[in-house]
Structure 1
């Protein structure tokens, strides 16, 4: 779907990453995992791609013929003629990201990305993807309503005026905008980032809202009573106070929206997924009356989000994504899915991740958890036809592994960021799963140290006992 090659991305000197249905990024603290995972999300941010396409095509002759729509109520538009431009602009995203996009996404000034070189390759057959899909969209412009339809195995959009108004002052480029939205929606996933700051966001989002309200009131008062320079200083202070990255702002908004959630449930939130999530959280969330609360499985107490455990706060946005946002055209980036989870629940989280992947969601994770990765490896090994089916069934039943969580190793790519070399490298993934050398070395070192100290202490206590 996408390949990103880069130099000087934050602390990482170089690397190349290609997305798979499940992409795993590992590394020590402060090596740049979040820079990589959030850059992936930034590369797939659809609204900026559409804006760049519109700006590029603004002076071209590629828009639909507005006169035909005006006089005859409908027209046809062959989108094949803009496909080369779509592909060209998508490939040129690297230039925008290098100069401005990542600074805006991370909401930072200065020179962090000034030496960044990035090359993005979108790996899709544009013509085949668009040609094969059916598209239907209703678009309103003022009092006019239009229906956009593209049948399967065709490049032709049929645009029909179905509104009340007899007069049509709709711009040609609004038609082009709708067509581009549909094309980009078909080609690029809807991307959600769930940050490692999610626990703090779940705890403090109401305090943030209160602070914003207080500052808004202060600005309103200043506008009436003070000079322009004071107002400028105050608005600058507000900007500095809420200087969050795009992903964190999105997480705050997702929790705010969760208070009055009326969305239909996703088809991916089936009974099996619901059971996995309830096992991790130990209950279920209640979203109503401007409050997100939690009800433990064995009890009648309803707990406000601010008073829940860190593990419950950590799981909320992941469940919210699965419950309301996810579909088979989604991509989710989860920073440290194991956050605040005990070892048994890290196993359940690995199963949530693979079930999502098997449902068509593209998943990118960053992780420090060898326990979560070992469960991923278990789920990959169980996909092997080398294991006799009766033995496989016995394992699945003994360890209560949902069949929908078993994943093919071909659907997984893993990457490690080396702290010493400051480079991102691919990790081997085979029928046994992901190569865990990064974790195994640390575990062996710790075990060796533990054995040595245990031996010394044991000898000392034995000698002391003999002397007594």
Structure 2
């Protein structure tokens, strides 16, 4: 996965490739912490970012709600358009939710090299006696609802978008912030000895 961020706080442009272990390092006051927190905010709130983004077109949605099941070939999905919608939605909310303020320039985010999940089966309760079944394989995504009642499609759409992409779980540890808290007692003792 590649995450690209432009025009955000001190960051004019930055791109990062997320691996199993990703280290961000560089000179002081260059935006490393902003980049790390922006990436963390996106990946930790992936499901919330997906709210309001349409996964199925109108015809597919109508068919799905009528039949309570649908099978979609992954090749028929516009993955880049979905990712661009996710990036735009996150960029709009990032300044207020992650950082509480922003300059006049709107941040621009790009998500690249994010793949669909290859194999996954999910059974999710979406009501008292209502179930969503999501089966993802190499070629297709199959969605089925077991319910006697009409289902709120926005919730189903949200669950699908949350699960179909291979998004890494993330843990963030900003070293200078962590180091200060770990060694605070030593720092206090050394300061006391100097005085």
Tell me, yes or no, whether TM beats 0.5: yes
Which digits, 9 at most, give the CA deviation of each residue in 1:190-217, with x for residues without a partner?
xxxxxxxxxxxxxxxxxxxxxxxxxxxx
In the alignment, does 2:131 pair up with 1:146?
yes
Q: Give the equivalent residue in structure 2 for 1:230.
A: none
CA separation in 2, counterparts of 1:178 and 1:40?
A: 21
Q: Give the conservation status (yes or no) of the 8 Å contact 2:132–2:145.
A: yes
CA separation in 2, counterparts of 1:21 and 1:97?
A: 23
CA RMSD of aligned residues (A): 3.1
- TM-superposed CA distance for 1:35, in Å, is 0.9
Note closer, same or farther for the CA distance 1:62–1:121 as it changes in structure 2 (3 Å cut).
same
Q: Give the conservation status (yes or no) of the 8 Å contact 2:53–2:86.
A: no
SS in 1 for 2:23: strand
Note closer, same or farther for the CA distance 1:28–1:140 as it changes in structure 2 (3 Å cut).
same
CA separation in 2, counterparts of 1:93 and 1:178?
A: 14
* TM-score, scaled to structure 2: 0.71
SS in 2 for 1:168: coil
Q: Give the equivalent residue in structure 2 for 1:176.
A: 157
SS in 2 for 1:180: helix
SS in 1 for 2:159: helix
Note closer, same or farther for the CA distance 1:83–1:102 as it changes in structure 2 (3 Å cut).
farther
Which digits, 9 at most, give the CA deviation of each residue in 1:419-448, with x for residues without a partner?
xxxxxxxxxxxxxxxxxxxxxxxxxxxxxx
Q: Give the equivalent residue in structure 2 for 1:77.
A: 71
Which digits, 9 at most, give the CA deviation of each residue in 1:325-357, with x for residues without a partner?
xxxxx2111112434446xxxxxxxxxxxxxxx
- The runs of 5 or more residues in structure 2 that have no matched partner are 184-195
- TM-superposed CA distance for 1:147, in Å, is 4.3
Q: Give the conservation status (yes or no) of the 8 Å contact 2:4–2:13.
A: no
Q: Give the equivalent residue in structure 1 for 2:53.
A: 53
- TM-superposed CA distance for 1:66, in Å, is 2.3
SS in 2 for 1:332: coil
Q: Which has the higher helix share?
A: 1
- TM-superposed CA distance for 1:37, in Å, is 0.7
Q: Give the equivalent residue in structure 2 for 1:188.
A: 167
Note closer, same or farther for the CA distance 1:182–1:339 as it changes in structure 2 (3 Å cut).
same
In terms of Rg, which structure is larger? 1
Q: Give the equivalent residue in structure 1 for 2:174.
A: 335
Which digits, 9 at most, give the CA deviation of each residue in 1:227-249, with x for residues without a partner?
xxxxxxxxxxxxxxxxxxxxxxx
CA separation in 2, counterparts of 1:5 and 1:156?
A: 30
Q: Give the conservation status (yes or no) of the 8 Å contact 1:135–1:182.
A: no
Q: Give the equivalent residue in structure 2 for 1:113.
A: 103
Q: Give the conservation status (yes or no) of the 8 Å contact 2:87–2:111.
A: no
The count of corresponding residues between Structure 1 and Structure 2 is 179
Which digits, 9 at most, give the CA deviation of each residue in 1:72-98, with x for residues without a partner?
xxx3432637731x5313224444444
CA separation in 2, counterparts of 1:101 and 1:178?
A: 21
CA separation in 2, counterparts of 1:116 and 1:174?
A: 29
**Paired residue for 2:121, among 122, 126, 135?**
135
Note closer, same or farther for the CA distance 1:87–1:135 as it changes in structure 2 (3 Å cut).
farther
- TM-superposed CA distance for 1:53, in Å, is 1.8
Taking the TM superposition and a 5 Å limit, the aligned residue runs for 1:23-422 are: 23-44=22-43, 45-54=45-54, 60-63=58-61, 65-69=64-68, 75-78=69-72, 80=74, 83-84=77-78, 86-108=79-101, 112-124=102-114, 126=115, 129-130=116-117, 132-141=118-127, 143-150=128-135, 152-159=137-144, 161=146, 167-184=148-165, 187-189=166-168, 330-336=169-175, 337-341=178-182
Note closer, same or farther for the CA distance 1:341–1:88 as it changes in structure 2 (3 Å cut).
same
- The runs of 5 or more residues in structure 1 that have no matched partner are 70-74, 190-329, 343-468
Note closer, same or farther for the CA distance 1:79–1:107 as it changes in structure 2 (3 Å cut).
farther
Note closer, same or farther for the CA distance 1:117–1:133 as it changes in structure 2 (3 Å cut).
same
CA separation in 2, counterparts of 1:140 and 1:22?
A: 35
- TM-superposed CA distance for 1:160, in Å, is 5.0
- TM-superposed CA distance for 1:99, in Å, is 4.2
- TM-superposed CA distance for 1:123, in Å, is 0.9
Q: Give the conservation status (yes or no) of the 8 Å contact 1:149–1:158.
A: yes
